[in-house]
Chain A
């Protein structure tokens, strides 16, 4: 009869390596891989679009400063979370996020729907000195965002990289036309890689997120990003159980 001996594995480094890799990939294979094949993982919903160049740079700064270490962007379908943050997050809402900002470890509040909740002025004041507006806050100060000019020299390269992993930033007429059809002409314009720098400057100047029109600071980009979070889907258009069928 077949007599298994532990020693075989322990004395054969190649076999140990292969079996270890098999064992640790089981979780991913049964829990993650099927999601790529299950229809309805990403809900069909209107309004979700890739970030504009300015929002994209804001997202980079969000990641650079480690905001995600304390703030998740995933409202779970629990009553307490919905009461505080709004509608639970849809997978569709982070379909253009690479990487996504989900999580359940929160030192600060969830930010999935912080967009348009507070004014730009509040965000600027809060980022420079959180305790000036929220006395009990433990968030660090980020005063340099207001004084550091935004580096936009590599914005096209950043969009090209995201395009490679499937974000529909357009490089040619055909892709642009597809975006017009999918997102509308105004949004398609913002997703055009060739006009990235021009669009970024235009949005920063028009919206004046940091309250200072004389330059484009990192604050402009970060506030632009924060103000769009969770605002793309208009949930009033849907019944409250419209997204139950996807689960």
Chain B
């Protein structure tokens, strides 16, 4: 509570009287405040001289201050102060500071990068930032993947291959999963047989006779599953067809299905409708080739790399 001298004085009014008895206090702002206010107005004139300020017809005063930056072509340029030049200067300075690392990554074979402790710590910190922003929305933090959306990157199952060059290719150009629907080709019994055959690899207690029939169907020209999934049902990384023998699931949520019949149904659902999903965007337009190489090493080392 201020016991200032002014507040103890009788309040002054402006002298106006409204509606016969309505008056208005006259409380001027303190002098220190007014002085600071006038100083700030005077300081604005300084700003006008230094920075871009006043519009004049089709252009504006540019100010005396300048920024010198080096662009991506290596050309040094000087321009009047503006936020875009300032941004470019700061960014290119930071890029230059990281450049030795990225150059080293570009010139080091994949296998050697993780063996260099300095480079490896750069890969881990820069990779984590890149992964969190770009990859984690689908593949989740840590790369565990999400059933029905994006594969787990930390296990041994790779749709398109888990070698360095294959991962690099996947990130660079993206992927698009496809399996044709079989609803008009196969009947319900045949789909059950195929599901049983697939489940038999994962030690699910299915009817052996049905699985045997499924085996025959799998390798027949009727269903022709082996065209894409291979005669051993282990998939082909060239086209991204799933390995059906490793009890790792992406599109058919077998682990969540309780009974054998439920497990059959989730697989039959995929066979029936086919797949036109599993789209991974191409990152070559968004990330640099060096960043992609760094991410390749980062993802390879998440646990599952081959």
Q: Does B280 contact A (CB under 8 A)?
A: yes
A-side residues, CB < 8 A to B, are 6-7, 10, 30, 34, 37-39, 76-79, 82-84, 86, 88, 116-122, 125-126, 132-135, 211, 236, 239-241, 243-247
Question: Are A82 and B58 interface neighbours, CB within 8 A?
Answer: no
For A84, list chain B residues within 8 Å (CB): 133
Question: Are B138 and A133 interface neighbours, CB within 8 A?
Answer: yes
State which of B52, B60, B134, B279 has its C-beta within 8 Å of the C-beta of A117: B134
State which of B59, B88, B286 has its C-beta within 8 Å of the C-beta of A240: B88
Give the 5 A-B CB pairs with smallest separation, nearest first.
A34-B55, A77-B87, A119-B279, A247-B82, A241-B71
Question: Are A38 and B60 interface neighbours, CB within 8 A?
Answer: yes
For B280, list chain A residues within 8 Å (CB): 119
Give A92 Cβ to nearest chain B Cβ, in Å: 13
For A118, list chain B residues within 8 Å (CB): 137-138, 281
A117 and B286 alpha carbons, distance in the complex (Å): 8
For B94, list chain A residues within 8 Å (CB): 79
Q: Does B90 contact A (CB under 8 A)?
A: yes
User: What are 10 of the A-B contact pairs (CB < 8 Å)?
Assistant: A37-B57, A38-B59, A79-B90, A79-B91, A117-B281, A118-B138, A126-B137, A133-B140, A239-B71, A244-B77
A212 and B276 alpha carbons, distance in the complex (Å): 11
Give B292 Cβ to nearest chain A Cβ, in Å: 15
Question: Are B59 and A244 interface neighbours, CB within 8 A?
Answer: no
For B83, list chain A residues within 8 Å (CB): 76-77, 247
Question: Are A121 and B279 interface neighbours, CB within 8 A?
Answer: yes
Q: Does B209 contact A (CB under 8 A)?
A: no
For A245, list chain B residues within 8 Å (CB): 79
For A247, list chain B residues within 8 Å (CB): 52, 82-85
Give B133 Cβ to nearest chain A Cβ, in Å: 6
A211 and B90 alpha carbons, distance in the complex (Å): 43
Q: Chain B interface: which size bin?
A: 35 or more
Question: Are B84 and A6 interface neighbours, CB within 8 A?
Answer: no
For B59, list chain A residues within 8 Å (CB): 38-39
Q: Does B72 contact A (CB under 8 A)?
A: yes
For A243, list chain B residues within 8 Å (CB): 84
State which of A39, A82, A116 has its C-beta within 8 Å of the C-beta of B281: A116
A84 and B129 alpha carbons, distance in the complex (Å): 9
Question: Are B137 and A240 interface neighbours, CB within 8 A?
Answer: no
Smallest Cβ-Cβ distance to B146: which chain A residue: A133
Question: Are B58 and A37 interface neighbours, CB within 8 A?
Answer: yes
A117 and B138 alpha carbons, distance in the complex (Å): 11
Give A175 Cβ to nearest chain B Cβ, in Å: 28
Q: Does B16 contact A (CB under 8 A)?
A: yes
Known contacts A82-B91, A116-B281; A37 and B149 CB within 8 A of each other: no
Q: Does B118 contact A (CB under 8 A)?
A: no
A243 and B82 alpha carbons, distance in the complex (Å): 11
A110 and B141 alpha carbons, distance in the complex (Å): 20
For A76, list chain B residues within 8 Å (CB): 83
Q: Scan B193-217; emit 1 where CB is below 8 A from any A CB, else 0.
A: 0000000000000000000000000
Smallest Cβ-Cβ distance to B138: which chain A residue: A122
A218 and B279 alpha carbons, distance in the complex (Å): 21
Give B267 Cβ to nearest chain A Cβ, in Å: 20
Question: Are A38 and B84 interface neighbours, CB within 8 A?
Answer: no
For B184, list chain A residues within 8 Å (CB): none
For A132, list chain B residues within 8 Å (CB): 146
User: Which B residues, 131 to 157, have Cβ-Cβ distances below 8 Å to chain A?
Assistant: 133-134, 137-138, 140-141, 146, 149
For A86, list chain B residues within 8 Å (CB): 286
User: Which B residues, 18 to 72, have Cβ-Cβ distances below 8 Å to chain A?
Assistant: 52, 55, 57-60, 69, 71-72
For B279, list chain A residues within 8 Å (CB): 119-121
Known contacts A6-B14, A240-B72; A82 and B87 CB within 8 A of each other: yes
Question: Are B73 and A244 interface neighbours, CB within 8 A?
Answer: no
State which of B72, B90, B276 has its C-beta within 8 Å of the C-beta of A239: B72
Question: Are A241 and B77 interface neighbours, CB within 8 A?
Answer: yes
Q: Does B285 contact A (CB under 8 A)?
A: yes
For B16, list chain A residues within 8 Å (CB): 7, 10
Smallest Cβ-Cβ distance to B87: which chain A residue: A77
A116 and B279 alpha carbons, distance in the complex (Å): 11
Question: Are A34 and B60 interface neighbours, CB within 8 A?
Answer: yes
For B141, list chain A residues within 8 Å (CB): 135
Give A203 Cβ to nearest chain B Cβ, in Å: 17
Known contacts A118-B138, A119-B277; 5 further A-B pairs (Cβ under 8 A): A77-B83, A77-B86, A120-B279, A122-B138, A244-B79
Question: Are B55 and A77 interface neighbours, CB within 8 A?
Answer: no
